[in-house]
Structure 1
Amino acid sequence: MGTLKPLVIGDLVAKYPVIQGGMGVGISLSSLAGAVAKAGGVGIISTAQIGFKQPDFLKNPLEANLRAIGEEMKKAREIAPEGIIGFNIMVATKNYASYVKKAVIAGADIIISGAGLPVSLPEYVAEAAEEAGIKLKTKIAPIVSTVKSAMVICKMWDRKFNQAPDLVVVEGPLAGGHLGFSREDLSELGVDTEDVEHTFQQAKYDEEVRGIIRLVREYGEKYNKVIPVVTAGGIYTHEDVMHQIDLGADGVQVATRFVTTRECDAPEEFKEAYIKSSKEDIVITKSPVGMPGRAIKNPFLDHVANTPFKLEHCYDCLEKCDRKTIPYCITKALISSAEGRTEDGLVFCGSNAYRAEKMETVDEVMKDLVFGE
């Protein structure tokens, strides 16, 4: 078994090189993020409709979500006062800038951002600190999937803001939820969107990861800093972790494995959906805004594929949502699952969700990922 080094992100040092992936709606909030940070990893809270439990969420979703960002961070800090805690914020989110600024003011150690290229993330983070009159400490990390996307974001930040990322997350084709890559990205990698499991070639993608690491290293040298690269997607065991480290990655981002922990914020029904699922149940689905997503096949997915949809209420969640043509409301679908009605909702997952056989604790999962025990 290999030995893992701490994950160093500027002045932040995580005992173990494991970032818990952000999962919305309501799956990775303060309980899970706090537990992971306390266990020596990096805990990540998802801002995706984070305020869905707030009493005014239906009437004022933006205000409810922004308020919840502060509340969830406070609760996570109480669990892990010395831990590293941050947020995952999707670029596709409506009012993206407001979420970023609120996360900075709430004291986020890091913001990880994907589902689109976070072109203006450095600007929003700097503005938030300046407007609040606080010292800027929040690290920023784009999610990329190819050398091409990594080059685009690094070039843009270099040219527009004279800076480089503090961390880069590489999300591969086996990741879960709203995926950080497009169907075009998959095509470039020779992967069939409808049959990822059989067309994904690990060795070929490993070369893509090595290419991203080389590119990021160049920008690190330009700015005289070490920019760690963390890989994500399909990482479930210690062997998976060591494979990524052997490629040259500085750490891993793991989400699916943490869902079936006692500390995960998801309801028991959501966790049971993972435990009961089979490999054949995990499918690539199309979100209402066209992005691919990975989920567990259930009556909800069967229903939306064959039933006309009429929007009853808009939650103002995604920037490019066309209310007239969407096949279903993704917020409503995800909230249903987050409230335990998994047969009537969307159950996002990673490619290995079917491997979950029992409930574990965050400590047990961390020990297995880091030490293989």
Structure 2
Amino acid sequence: MFKSFFIGEKEIMLPIIQGGMGVGISLSGLASAVANEGGIGVISSAGLGLLYRRKPGDYLKDCIWGLKEELRKSREKSKGTIGVNIMVALSNFADMVRTTIAEKADIIFAGAGLPLDLPSYLSTSSDTKLVPIVSSARAAKVICEKWHTNYDYLPDAIVVEGPKAGGHLGFKRENLEDANYSLEKLVPEVLAIATSYKDKKTIPVIAAGGISTGEDILRFIQLGASGVQIGSLFVPTDECDASDAFKQIYVNSLQSDLMIIQSPVGMPGRAFQGDFLDSVSAGNEIPKSCPYHCIKTCDYSKSPYCIIKALYNASKGRMNRGYAFAGANAYLTEKISSVREVISKLKKEFIAAEFLSGKEIAH
């Protein structure tokens, strides 16, 4: 059966972290539902200023207000563990980190870049745990060394995200199908970095990217991971904050619908093909202006489309004006279920795989 693990002094009863998916996919609805099952629910901070627009509009201030509101809502719905996913590439990364810590969220998950200064935002009274998301042992080592040297701090956990993940990928396109970059290879490598600091701190490693069954979870726990991060499985759920039209893209998809795109963020990403991405390929979505400057690395004059508008539109069901990011196994979904049903299925699959694994060892 699933075993709990600790992030700092906080015990995580269900070793499942729900991936932070933006814009508007994982908010308080989904995060609180996963937290209520004993896992870690995660709110995506990306693009909250679009979801919480006030007049007169001020995107950066609206993002702060939106994050406060989503954390407030999640507390009303759950007493479980709630984290916030903050992309390092966001132009308002510092605002989102400061707000998350001030609002006393349990955990910050920071990826899409190396969060080298993340501990600098903590004060002596801060309780928020810091968890970087990496795609290599090298990145894990750099973060640990920088944090330890500059802030006398080490990660409270490390998420290692493999090339089968949805959304932005920390790999070169040509490495996505290379076995040398598989999650099965990355987890032991990152675990070795984490273990090298065992005299100073216990740093659990969390496997992420393409995990879709209880058998997958068992495999990575047997490799030494303390838990797993799952995103795509939680999209086609009743509690997911996206529109029904967005969820149906997952339910009705085929494996052949998945494609690798080049994001304006500067990274490859995995998404479902559709009319909007066809329009992008035809050069029809080039932005004429940029009212948000949401990504540090994005120059709208050179960008093929506005990513934050595209993701926001998709979350609202306007699929002809946006697209859905998805993991490599997202097409396996057959229906919309509840979060509890998804987790129950994972538990049953895990127990069955554990039983078979035990029989194999006995033989």
Give distance in 2, aligned partners of 1:53 and 1:44: 17
Distance, in Å, in 2 between the alignment partners of 1:227 and 1:273 is 37
Rounded to whole Å, the distance in 2 between the matches of 1:16 and 1:66 is 30
CA–CA distance in structure 2, aligned partners of residues 57 and 328 of structure 1:
26
Equivalent position of 1:326 in the other structure: 303
Contact 1:112 1:143 in 2 (8 A): yes
Report the counterpart of residue 38 of structure 1 in structure 2. 36
Identity of aligned residues (%): 43
1:297-308 correspondence to structure 2 within 5 Å: 297-308=273-284
Tell whether 2:145 aligns with 1:155: yes
| Matching of residue 110 in structure 1 with residue 107 in structure 2 | yes
2:288 corresponds, among 311, 317, 328, to: 311
How many residue pairs get matched? 349
The residue correspondences of 1:211-226 to structure 2 (distance < 5 A) are: 211-221=189-199, 223=200, 225-226=201-202
Contact 1:25 1:46 in 2 (8 A): yes
Alignment map for 1:1-373 (pairs within 5 Å)? 3-56=1-54, 59-81=57-79, 83-124=80-121, 126=122, 129=123, 135-179=125-169, 181-183=170-172, 191=175, 196=176, 199-201=177-179, 205-221=183-199, 223=200, 225-308=201-284, 309-372=286-349
Note the C-alpha offset of 1:53. Answer: 2.3
Cα–Cα, structure 1 residues 206 and 55, in superposed 2: closer, same or farther, change >3 Å? Answer: closer
**How many angstroms apart in 2 are the aligned matches of 1:55 and 1:116?**
27
TM-score scaled by length of structure 2 = 0.92
Extract structure 1 runs of 4+ deviating beyond 6 A: none
> Structure 1 CA distance, aligned partners of 2:254 and 2:327?
12
Superposed displacement of residue 315, structure 1: 1.5
| SS at 2:198 equivalent | helix
Look up the SS of the partner of 1:89 in the other structure: strand
Following TM superposition, by how much is the alpha carbon of 1:338 offset from its aligned partner in structure 2, in angstroms? 1.2
Provide the aligned C-alpha RMSD in A: 1.7
TM-score (norm 1): 0.90
Moved more, 34-43 or 361-370: 361-370
Alignment check: 8 A CA contact 1:151 1:215 kept: yes
Q: For 1:299-342, what per-residue CA distance to the aligned partner results, in whole angstroms no more than 9, with x for missing partners?
A: 10010111251324421210111121000000110111011101
Q: Distance in 2 between matches of 1:92 and 1:77?
A: 27
For 1:304 and 1:204, how far apart are their aligned partners in 2?
Answer: 30
State the alpha-carbon separation in 1 of the partners of residues 8 and 55 from structure 2.
Answer: 36
Unaligned runs of 5+ residues in structure 2 are 351-363
> Which residue identity lines up with residue 315 of structure 2 in the other structure?
A
Deviation string 1:130-159 (CA, Å, 9 cap, x unpaired) is 6xxxx2100000111111111111111111
SS in 2 for 1:51: helix
Alpha carbons of structure 1 residues 203 and 64: separation in structure 2 relative to 1, 3 Å: closer
Shift of 1:10: 1.0
